[in-house]
Amino acid sequence: MANPTPDAPVVKDAITQTHAFGCLLAYCVVYVLPLHLSPATRATPGRSRDDPGAIRARIKAVSLSTAVCSIITLAVLTLSSPILDAEGRSDHASAWHAMGYWPLGLRETARSVFLTALLFAAPLYERLLIDGAWEDWLRLEPLISVWNDMPTWRNLVVWQGPITEECLFRSAAVPLLLLAGNGLSSTVFLSPLVFGVAHVHHFYEFRVTHPGVPLVAAIARSVLQFSYTYLFGIYATFIFLRTGSLLAVILVHSFCNVMGLPRVWGLIEPYWLPEGTNNGTVKAHTGVYYLLLFGGMFSWWQGLYALTSSSVALADL
């Protein structure tokens, strides 16, 4: 059985590991399948995935799927006999703790986002200063676009991440693995495989909506997407176990969606210089970028445990 922290919910092995992983796979199917069953949500040639009607239908579908799976996990945790607190008393409220809903973990959330920002120090430098996004933030345009632009709302809030995916693949799935006595290492490294597989259906959608793209290119795109989705799943599961906060992984997920994959080659060209300029200024900013890239990774590694420590952790990881 996983080693809980002194303040974390203590449970008996009420379900088997096979049942727990079976639930995780079933949740994956429940989450993805409705997207391909209804004409309103199904990818079709000639219809952009950014079509407002399709986005609204997909948001409704995955929100319902996530709610159903979350209720199932809550019921399993609540009905597990017994669920005990650290003093051995019956504590059904600990089911909400196990799922990361309570306590909210505001301190843990701030520290987790800061930790992740260290990893993205160089991309933040490029985005805010070199590309001039700081001017947009002064006008609050990024925040306004979240509420007014449907694709942005989908990507940063609901469908492609933060809320529904973390509620399902972390909050609803991880507690079942711990309940079944699954080892912490396999919980961190194996459960995100299902999270990655849940994104493979994008390969099918891409082929439907982009029939002219060569198969090899589509496969390469899907492999890349699976790879970084799996790696992020490991990181998110680690943070979830260490902080016990669903809010923390939701905001970290949203932050990573905003940043995307970092640049790992090429020159950094400030927006205030003419395009194609290659002088000392460009080289200086490029040097700063790569210093921040490696310095940020080092700082992230150094703070990985210190900035994710919490008295309400779900496991002693």
Q: At what angle do helices 52-79 and 17-32 cross, to 10 degrees?
A: 160
Question: Could you give the CA distance from residue 179 to residue 40 in angstroms, rounded to a whole number?
Answer: 37
Measured CA distances, 109 to 80, 104, 115, 283 (Å): 29, 8, 10, 36
Question: Could you give the CA distance from residue 289 to residue 264 in angstroms, rounded to a whole number?
Answer: 10
Which DSSP symbol is given to 262?
P
Question: Could you give the CA distance from residue 295 to residue 68 in angstroms, rounded to a whole number?
Answer: 43
Residue positions annotated with a catalytic role: 165, 199
CA atoms in the 13 A half-sphere facing the CB of 78: 9
Q: Which residues of 88-118 are buried (b: 16+ CB within 10 A; e: fewer)?
A: eeebeebbbbbbbbebebeebbebbbebbbb
> Could you tell me the pTM of the whole model?
0.86
Q: What is the pLDDT along the chain (317 residues), one digit of tens a residue?
A: 445 554 555 444 568 999 999 999 999 999 988 888 888 877 777 676 677 788 888 888 889 999 999 999 999 998 885 544 444 444 556 899 999 999 999 999 999 999 999 999 999 999 999 998 888 888 888 777 777 777 776 766 655 568 999 999 999 999 999 999 889 999 999 889 888 887 777 787 788 778 888 989 989 988 998 899 999 999 999 999 999 999 999 999 999 988 989 999 988 888 888 776 677 888 899 999 999 999 999 999 999 999 999 999 999 88
